[in-house]
Amino acid sequence: MSENRKSPVFQNFNRLMAGGFDHTDYTRMVNRVGRGEDHVQVCEELGDKSYAYAEEELQKGHQETAKIFFIKAAADYRIAEYDIVEISDERLRIYGKLLDSHARGLQLYDNFTAEKVEIPYKNSKMSGWMLIPRQAAPDVPVIVAIGGLTGFKEEVHTVAMSLINRGLAVLLIDGPGQGESLYFNKCYLEIEIEQAYDVIFDYILSRSDVGNKIGIFGASFGGYFVPRIAGFLSHKLAGCVSRGGSYEPKEMVGKYPHSLEKLAIRFGTTEKYVTENLLDKMTLQGIAEKITCPLLIIHNEQDPLFNVAGVKRTYAEAAATDKTIKLYPGVDHCVTLDDTEVHRYFVDWFADRLLA
């Protein structure tokens, strides 16, 4: 390692807080990295410390405290590995810690059940968690919650908690090209991402402990995925929320560090192949017009990664009669500066449509 790594540019304070990163660890991270320590090592050590404390408290019977510190550790590990580009031994080691701490934390909540699920897809499988509020009716609606290109199911943990507190079940899932499904199952990204989510929706419909009303939420690159999925599968959806998404995500090339390399890794191919054969196929042209399920788009007017003009086009072309675009002033990606209001807004939006 030639020099100590800095903290990721696209994980600023607002995004870290929105994703559940602890403010005390933020202060420690900023101070230590600012003094020249390596970002990855600092955050891994913070995670190790929180994980050890969680185990100690669990041994004492302090389940609530243990839960908080397992989830705190998961956030530390998530930020530690976030900016590692390659699927290296270092990344896999830290991500393994992330999966372990997040799993242990999820299973300590007393207001919902947490079931690890593996959904077969082609020659691989997609990994996730089915979270169902306790005492929920057997027809409880399910929200499928997904992250983006670099922030995966664990980054939308806070989204899942808000939805559960409103009485909705959540499937936290890493689809093709994301997180656990990519790193450990070699489930690669596809242009036709809707094929994988058709399988996911059928899996939900096959369960006897949840209902047949399904919503989908996606942030950042996931905010491109979900309207695309809705364009093909609106007949299976009762609502679609895109937060910080894109009409043509190739617009991020040149704005986002190592974007082509990251895309190539997720597609399981080369940067050259991505540039020549895949970038132009990532578009909502001819697809947005087929969205008929209720649609909510949330975006910053000056999002630094995905231009607001793209989501305005998605909104204009969508055929849904129930569609809303909610724009916020500011320059954060995914409207994280207004995260508290945004959370309440889309959770209420889902509840109004799926719990009515």
Please give the Cα distance from 219 to 151 (Å, whole number): 9
Terminal C-alpha separation, the chain: 55
Q: Could you tell me whether strands 124-133 and 169-174 are parallel, antiparallel, or unpaired per DSSP bridges?
A: antiparallel
Rounded CA separation 167/142 (Å): 10
Sequence ranges of the chain with CATH classification 1.20.1440.110: 1-110
pLDDT, mean over the chain: 96
CA 214 vs CA 168, 181, 188, 240: distances in Å:
10, 22, 24, 9
Cβ neighbour number for residue 79 with a 10 Å cutoff: 30
Q: What is the Cα–Cα distance from 205 to 212, expressed in whole angstroms?
A: 6
* 257 pLDDT higher than 80: no
pLDDT at 1: 46
Backbone angles phi, psi at 246, to 5 degrees: -150, 155
3-state SS string over 40-74?
Answer: HHHHHHHHHHHHHHHHHHHHCCCHHHHHHHHHHHH
Superfamily of domain 1-110: acylaminoacyl peptidase (1.20.1440.110)
Average pLDDT over residues 172-178: 98
Name every residue whose Cβ is closer than 8 Å to that of residue 268 and which is 6 or more positions away in sequence: 186, 188, 189
What's the pLDDT tens digit per position in 199-233? 999 999 999 999 999 999 999 999 999 999 999 99
Which of these CATH numbers, 3.30.1490.190, 3.90.45.10, 3.40.50.1820, 3.30.450.20, describes 111-354?
A: 3.40.50.1820
330-352 pLDDT, tens digit each: 899 999 999 999 999 999 999 99
How high is the pLDDT of residue 157?
Answer: 97
- Residues 258-292: pLDDT tens digits? 899 999 999 999 999 999 999 999 999 999 999 99
pLDDT confidence of residue 255? 85
Question: How large a percentage of the chain has pLDDT more than 70?
Answer: 99
- Give the pLDDT confidence of 147-162 residue by residue, as tens digits: 999 989 999 999 999 9
Query: Given this model, what pLDDT does residue 2 score?
Result: 58
Q: Which letter does DSSP use for residue 137 in this model? A: -
Strand partners, 218: 146, 242
pLDDT at residue 135 in the model: 93
Count of CA atoms in the C-beta half-sphere (13 A) of 178: 27
Q: Which of 154, 155, 172 is nearest to 163 (CA)?
A: 172
Tens digits of residue pLDDT in 50-64: 999 999 999 999 999
Cβ proximity of 199 and 121 under 8 Å:
yes
DSSP 8-state class, residue 288: G
What stretches of the chain adopt beta strand conformation (E)?
A: 112-121, 124-133, 142-146, 169-174, 214-219, 239-243, 295-300, 323-328
User: Hunting for tokens 């990344």 — which residue is that?
Assistant: 91
**Is the predicted pLDDT of residue 22 greater than 80, yes or no?**
yes
Evaluated on CA atoms 301, 305, 309, 311, the torsion sign reads negative
Spell out the residues 6+ positions from residue 22 whose beta carbon is closer than 8 angstroms to its own.
50, 72, 75, 76
CB 208 within 8 A of CB 138: yes
Q: Which residues of 119-141 are buried (b: 16+ CB within 10 A; e: fewer)?
A: bebeebbbbbbbbbbeebeeebb
Q: Is the dihedral of CA 129, 133, 135, 137 positive or negative?
A: negative
The C-alpha atoms of residue 71 and residue 22 are separated, in whole angstroms, by: 10
Residues of the chain with CATH 3.40.50.1820: 111-354
